[in-house]
Structure 1
Amino acid sequence: MNKIRTIGIIFSMFALLGLNSCDDDDIDSPGSAIIGPGTVHTRISASGSSTSLEAALKIATGDLPGTLEGTGPFTVFAPNNTAFANLAESLGFESTDDVSASEALLASIDPALLSQILTYHVVAGSMEAASLSDGATLTTVLGDEISVIISEDGDIQLLDATKLPETSPVSTIVQSDGYAENGIVHFIDKVLLPQAAIDALDFDIRPTIIDWATGTDDLSLLASSIEKAGLTDAIAALDTARVLAPNNQAFADLLETLGDDYNSLDDFDNEVEIALLGEILLYHVLPPVDDSIDLTVGPATTLLDENFVDVTTAVGGFAFGDATADIANTITADIDAKNGAVDIIDKVLLPQAALDFSTLLDSDDLATTVTGAPQLSVLEEALIATDLAGAFVDMTNVQDDEATNFTYYRPATVFAPTDAAFEDLFNALGPDYTSIASFDTEEELALLSEILLYHVLAGKVVSEDLEAGVATTASEKDIEIISVVGTDNFVIGDATNDVNANITTPDVLARNGVAHIIDKVLLPKSAIDFIESME
């Protein structure tokens, strides 16, 4: 084989590699290095994700395919098929069995206007992705400008004539640096619109309310709280509303008010806290009144039932009052949204439920409450002896069989026997039992623990909510709530079936429940059996 024939075979192999490379988006093959990757138009045509763009180039006036085959160099920001589909749907075109929304759009759009849109995606010169800097302005072949944004994640995004970074979505380069003989192609996920197209298509460029929340840096904590509370879809689906949007500093102030246990939104991590966060957010949404979302002085209805925001006048606009003594001032008023209006404010508005929660956090837990009362000192000794003081702090806070740290999350009700009631128990047990210290064997301490748990109910039941009937205690044994005939009072029956416990002091409130002080130690059947065994 001679040298010339060998070189010919090698070039033939390279040519085949070059032809094969046209089947996908990979142009960095040995073949393309020798024979070249083709033009930017070839690059677009070879991409299976840009068939809508290829069709648009053929429909538009001005022989754009021929232009893109020219000398250049060109940098083309090429919208993919998804970009065209999203534009078509936003303009009201729908897919049918035979025609896609993109095809319907291209069939109806003015070819001259389409040419303007497409030339808005072309910039003279060959610009690699690495050369695009945040804030850079690029002049397109159309003559209009587009802007470059580098996101926090490093994504390269393009801003068109809307000039609104909050618009969702901005156009992002999803595949960069498609090298060609006459330039570079960057594939993007949104069709860029020049002002002429916005005007001609009557395209509503305003962001929605949720777009403003998620796309504004100073509202990032609001956006996170909406997501945590599970309200993203509900806010996005608002037809017309006015949203009072607390900025990031407002949320930081709220966390500081709640105390050391709340350092970020991540600390809203159980169903009670997340539900409260949802109520707070709904308190910031003002639905229309008489088909209007304009602000007027006076109480304004919110999406939180029976909770109103007090609207007052302030310098340059309005201020807003909540259940606290402080008002929220407007930072930016009347931001126009596609489905309403947004006012950025400097305070998280708090309904009464939030104040009640804050008061709850500042109150004592059940263990501190029942052991702090002078007439309950023996009960305190019993809780310490049986290692149940911690359980009384957080008796019913069990989630997925693992104890939590929320001393308010699942409240309990404690019937707390007085010192005199324990003295009666000691007398019933006999001379060997003079104090809690007399319970000094494992068997006796286990019995004492069962007796104490026999005084605890799951849930916070204040005196006005007591109902006659059987109630199961934390010891899994039943007590009986008995209505006193002719009164509004109740007594508590145990396994003795003869002497009931009277509630001497009801409704001693605690962070995680309520205590009712009673004049008798309630005894389960096991305690009765123990006493009888000693006789």
Structure 2
Amino acid sequence: MKFLSKLLLLVILATASVSCSDDDDAPVIPPSGDPTIADLVTENDQFSSLLAALERTDLVTPFVGGSGNLTVFAPTNDAFSSFLQTNGFSSLEEVPESLLREVLLNHVVNGRILAADLSTGYVSSLGTGSASESNLSLFIDTISGVRVNGVSSVTTADILATNGVVHEVNAVIGLPSIVTQALANPQFSTLVAALQRASTETTNYVEILSGSTSSPFTVFAPTNQAFENLLDALGAQSLDDVAPETLATILEYHVIAGSNVRSGDLSDGLSATTLQGENLVFDLTDGAQVSDATDNNANIAVVDVQTNNGVVHAIDKVLLPQEIVDVIDPTIAGLAMMNDDLSSLVAALEYTGLDDVLADRSGEYTVFAPTNAAFDTFLGGAALTDLPVETVEQVLLNHVLTGTALSTDLSTSYTNSLATYGNTEDNLSFYINVDNGVVINGISTVTMPDNEAANGVVHIVDAVIDLPTVVTFATADPNFSNLVGALQAADTDFVSVLSGTTNSPFTVFAPVNSAFDAITVPGEPVLSEVLSHHVIIESNIRSENLSDGATVQSLQGDDITVTLPGTGDNIADLTDGAGNTGIGVIAVDVQATNGVIHAVDAVLLPEQNN
């Protein structure tokens, strides 16, 4: 039954409000008197077949007069001739009267709708089909003239009558099937292509969803954009990159056979079995939604497009059954798009163009993905687009590492994100602490690790990892807890200074905790001088910028001298302002947005504190 589900997807959605091409033309005024719709049909030789059909089905009376207003799409004699020939009838008398009556009523809409009032979308005719007692839907397309159900065009508009208006059309509007509406609406062109690609010599999905076997059908039809999102999630360029068998399974999951389920029949928590075999569940708590095997619900955008063999509801996402989720291999961008709680991240990726990067299967990345709540907190009520795109790009890159690192591969250490410092190619540092879960830069905790993708892995986190300052790393790394305590105790507000940009960039020689164990911490005024002796302002001096014998002036005023290479395991040795030598640089290049940190194994002392 895979065939049924595919064709069902073809039928819905219409939004654009575009007037028909005849809008600027004056209405055609009857030459004399106050004719009714019946008079217009009777007096026009082009409508003699229509008149004969109305008389045979006793439908002339509703068009004679009265206070009602109707809009009639009136087929010409040539239109009726084509209709009879196409359907294998030699005359109107051979058409079953009940069928002919419903076909005629399918040309009539309640209310007087002039050409200027027509817009692209769905309206209900007075006809009913075999699927339900609900009125059939007509798809009006005004993008180029006025076309009804994709089969009949208005050739003369706005023929006025006392009880409505007549629009002459060039084809009989037959009772529509699900496929009729799918083909009529350009928003479902990708769905139609998917049905065709999934068809085989023995299974023609278009024919199946055009017919009555296993009908009525209820079809949840994804729009073109929904298919684009699916292809992005799969890292596919087009439907040609998706196996026909996979498409067949996916399409069948959108179809319920044997039931004409309209919107009024839905209830919260209702479960329905699809042609594919798995269930769909309906969630009405936040609008009408359909739940599938992913974490991302589909919104029902248009409801109750009624056809002769079922009903169509348009949705904004391609639904995926567990059978497909278990075998597909989405990219990181795809995983994000499939998770409702990462929609803000998806919006940010699209805003910056980084969605293409994370959809590229040739790369390999580890992404720490903030939830929607994390983005809400980060933005503080502002809109994402209020921020410069360059800023958002760097913030997002600060969540990405090269390579695939599962949670079991992570250790307490520094690594580099893909964000960069200033206008350089130097990457910002990224501090991972696994002592109690996984915490990034001291502010963001992994809540759902190891969501594997085709091009890496996603770890979901509870906070946006903002671009780090020097203080960010000092606070995050427990090896600098004594330094942070000293910064807070000093009479100078070093935390604010080193968090900001005034006099930045900073190069900070940061003593580890053991360095403080070897000295007696001086009082506040002297402490400020000692701490100032660890900071060089207006310089981002990385390890590659150090040279043997070089001296740099600290914020306190005394010089610090560099010796290369360092003794033992030291990367370099320093001599402080007091003349103390052999102070070891034990870690380098912890890069922040406003400077760089190098860890040292002793506290640097200025000359007056010797």
Given the two structures, how large is their TM-score scaled by the length of structure 2? 0.41
Q: Which has the higher contact order (CA 8 A, sep 6+)?
A: 2
The alignment's TM-score, normalised by the length of structure 1, stands at 0.45
